[in-house]
Amino acid sequence: MLAGSFVHRGAIVLGALGVLAVHFAFAQEDVFHTRVVPYVATPQVTVDEMLRLAGVGPEDFVIDLGSGDGRIVVTAARKFGASGLGVDIDWRLVNQAEENARQAGVADRARFLEQDMFQTDLGQATVITTYLFPFVMLKLRSKLLALKPGTRIVSHDFDFGDWPPDRKTSVRKNVYLWIVPAEAAGRWQARLEMPPIERQLELEIKQRYQEVSAHARLNGVPSPVWEMKLVGDRLSFVVVDTTDRDNEASFYFDGRVSGDVIEGELARGVGAERSVTRWRAARVGR
């Protein structure tokens, strides 16, 4: 009887501990979303460098995730002529940021919201700025990669793990710039109307973030692909035309990826022998 009672009480205790553990796990998740990072002000010279590196201008809309006292959005409006939105979970910092925008005379172009950054609609942004811990950056990465190709993301101190930056500078802090890449991977086909004959291009692109490589066939003949680059939705590469072995020349492709189509300019040769036409490729497989 004593042993059975002991076992029963032990089961009750273990069950209660299990309930507490589940409750703690949910509480931890809530804490993550409500107090994900402490506020540490970014030095003003680093703010300036972040916005310079991102090429911010009057046509841009900047969203600052974890905006603190608002200095990034205020600077974007005051020095670069942009508009922007700062989001922060701390209402006191939001109030301070609004006051700083009023004092700088840019309250009409610099808005601030008390809001969870993970619930923020980023679709209107052309530039996103962050200063967040690495684990938060990694949690944001997939959301940012899903944004419109060409969206610029700039951070200092912390990066996105194995997603390499497009550019990096250092002004008091390490500053990183990423440009959201288009999805270019897959098999593509194009007809190239370049005299004296029409050529058929088959292109198979492999992609890891903005890093791309490809294999090509020109009229069925394997052709190496050189200097392939993807910057946002802009894809460029070179294929050597060996159709006429006695008159080889390079094809310089430059195009914009839009869904399952690439369209742009194609140049053959250089200097006085350079000729230019348009080209269009369609994705036929992934």
Residue 50 shares a structural domain with residue 169: yes
Residue where a domain terminates, one of 148, 179, 210: 179
Residue where a domain terminates, one of 157, 179, 201: 179
Residue with tokens 């497989």: 285
Residue 52 shares a structural domain with residue 170: yes
Q: Is 120 helix (H, G, I), strand (E, B) or coil?
A: coil
Cβ contact 267:251 at 8 Å: yes
**CA atoms of 217 and 221, how far apart (whole Å):** 5
What is the DSSP track for 123-181? TT-SEEEE---HHHHHHHHHHHHTSPTT-EEEEES--BTTB--SEEEEESEEEEEEEPP
pLDDT of residue 32: 39
Residue 175 shares a structural domain with residue 83: yes
Q: State phi, psi for 89 to the nearest 5 degrees.
A: -85, -15
- Give the pTM: 0.84
Residue 238 shares a structural domain with residue 221: yes
For 235-284, write each residue's pLDDT tens digit: 999 999 887 777 888 999 999 999 999 999 999 989 998 999 999 999 99
What is the average pLDDT across 186-190? Answer: 98
Q: What is the DSSP letter of 246?
A: G
Range of weakest confidence among 95-99, 159-163, 245-249: 245-249
Q: Residue 191: which domain range? A: 186-285
Residue 125 shares a structural domain with residue 199: no
Residue 110 shares a structural domain with residue 125: yes
Within a 10 A sphere around the Cβ of 226, how many other Cβ atoms? 13
**CA atoms of 244 and 223, how far apart (whole Å):** 13
**CA atoms of 40 and 169, how far apart (whole Å):** 20
Residue 163 shares a structural domain with residue 50: yes
Residue 119 shares a structural domain with residue 191: no
Q: Please report whether residue 235 resides in a domain.
A: yes
What is the average pLDDT across 131-138? Answer: 94
Q: Please report whether residue 30 resides in a domain.
A: no
On the question of pLDDT at 194 being above 50, the answer is yes
Q: Please report whether residue 248 resides in a domain.
A: yes
Residue 151 shares a structural domain with residue 204: no
Q: What CATH code is carried by the domain that includes residue 76?
A: 3.40.50.150
Cβ contact 262:235 at 8 Å: yes
pLDDT of residue 145: 97
Q: Please report whether residue 16 resides in a domain.
A: no
Number of compact structural domains in the chain: 2
On the question of pLDDT at 60 being above 90, the answer is yes
pLDDT of residue 21: 40
Residue 219 shares a structural domain with residue 168: no
On the question of pLDDT at 74 being above 50, the answer is yes
Q: Across the chain, what does the average pLDDT equal?
A: 88
Q: Please report whether residue 92 resides in a domain.
A: yes
Residue where a domain terminates, one of 179, 199, 226: 179
pLDDT of residue 244: 73
Which segments of 219-285 does DSSP mark as H helices, in order?
A: none
Contacts for 257 with CB less than 8 Å, ≥ 6 apart: 149, 182, 183, 184, 230, 233, 234, 235
Residue 97 shares a structural domain with residue 120: yes
pLDDT of residue 155: 97
Q: CA dist 185 to 220, 221, 230, Å? A: 20, 21, 11
Q: Please report whether residue 106 resides in a domain.
A: yes
Query: Phi-psi category of 151—alpha, beta or left, where left has phi over 0 and alpha has psi -120 to 50?
Result: beta
